[in-house]
Structure 1
């Protein structure tokens, strides 16, 4: 074994140890709070006992730090828009949480995984908003046609998308044109596919025809304002609680209607 191979093994073991610690800390925080979000626009919302997607992220969610920039933008847009369309809803963090916390009146959650849809349904019932959280299967470029029977008004809607590279397939020119009166927030996963840069440039070009484009990146986190972390948490553990274990600095496109 040469030096590079040895360093690779050490790095892998270190990474696995970090992720194990993140999971431990998330479970510890779940025990302390009962899964109730402590800060931010969704304060008071209960995440539920089951996580079908990245359970270790529960710590940042409970502290109100998870995708903080996006959460705050959604809450701000919810002051004038009342329907949230959540593409890739996972466990309903936004699709249920934003409705239960009063940021939106109703949501439409598109989720490809059966277990996750079942979990969203259960959490929505427990939160008392099952009649205002509507469930759908996988998001495709024709997802708007599934919403026609609900008479969704795009001038009253915000679209949130996190579908792991499929954003480049869903947001065709025709789809974007049909959504030109909606606010759209798209998590970008160009780094996960070989031709990601070209697909990202294509998405930008299509979007410019109908929207003002703003890029959002993960910013700073302030732990000093979170009383629950002031004692009995080391510096290392406190900062691990912020981690979303991303492969890179994440970015989102915020598409604002030109009208």
Structure 2
């Protein structure tokens, strides 16, 4: 058997394994959703209800229900000063953060930007389920002037979460950072999907540096021993529930306004 065929078979096996793992994560999340009645039980978003409909991240639902999904970002968001009481979510998906931020009662109003029509429909369903439609404003794609949809007083007291699958590099230029300079900004980074990712990161950091103090967050450990719902799961299944299915170690930027 030639080397090319061997490598092709190995690649097919790897892809097949990845698909199988994704399906198992989805099944485990569905099972835990039934157990917890589609309601987050732990963490600052505890009490948030998901509709059965979804657009994004149904395989992440188990981790969300346990309050451990992106817990590094979640904990950092919840640690901001009280004066930051507005939440802005760019790439809001199903509304986990934009609605959860309201459920936490740390934020008084939330703005969700989601490019997908289906995503916006799911966000609205989830907002209705959680009785917070009057505090949530839903918009489409976040452009370079998205901030014009938001009152200045809200923008200046906002936490902004940006998770737009690589589009952060084309969106966040020096002019936009200047208009957001009083907000705290969290950015999920996707530099690794670009051949010139290092160049894009250098440019993004250069654009942000005059206005913000910059720190980095990365995925850390999870303690699954505290969840009785998982006691009877096999070790591998517990960790699949905790997994976020990332292709590499994920990292984020936290940008804090200079002078604060």
For the criterion TM > 0.5, the same-fold answer is yes
2:109 aligned to 91, 106, 111, which one?
Answer: 106
8 A contact 1:46–1:127 mirrored in 2: yes
Can you list the C-alpha shifts for 1:117-169, whole angstroms capped at 9, x where unaligned?
Answer: 1111111111111010001110111111122xx44433311111001111111
Give 1:141's match in structure 2, choosing from 139, 144, 156.
144
Distance 2:258 2:76 in 1: 18
**Structure 2 unaligned regions, length at least 5:** none
Count of aligned positions: 256
Looking at structure 2, the residues matched to 50 and 115 of structure 1 have their Cα atoms a distance apart, in angstroms, of 10
Shift, 1:111, TM fit: 0.6
Given the two structures, how large is their TM-score scaled by the length of structure 1?
A: 0.95
Decide whether the 8 Å contact of 1:111 with 1:138 is kept in 2.
yes
Choose from 88, 103, 124 the match for 2:127: 124
Give how far 1:79 is off.
3.3
Normalised to the residue count of structure 2, the TM-score between the two structures is 0.95
Tell me, yes or no, if the aligned pair for 2:162 and 2:186 is still in contact at 8 Å: yes
User: What residue is the counterpart of 1:238 in the other structure?
Assistant: 238
Long gaps (5+) in structure 1: none
Q: CA deviation at 1:255?
A: 0.2
Distance 1:215 1:33 in 2: 33
> Does 1:33 pair with 2:31?
no
Aligned 1:1-259 pairs, distance under 5 A = 2-77=5-80, 79-147=82-150, 150-230=151-231, 232-259=232-259
Deviations 1:10-44 (A, max 9, x none): 21221121111111101100111111112111111
C-alpha RMSD of matched pairs (Å): 1.3
SS in 2 for 1:153: helix
Q: Quick one: distance in 2 between partners of 1:152 and 1:80?
A: 11
Q: How far apart in 2 are the matches of 1:92 and 1:42?
A: 12
For 1:70 and 1:78, the matched residues in 2 are separated by 15
Deviations 1:29-69 (A, max 9, x none): 01111111121111111122111002101011111111001
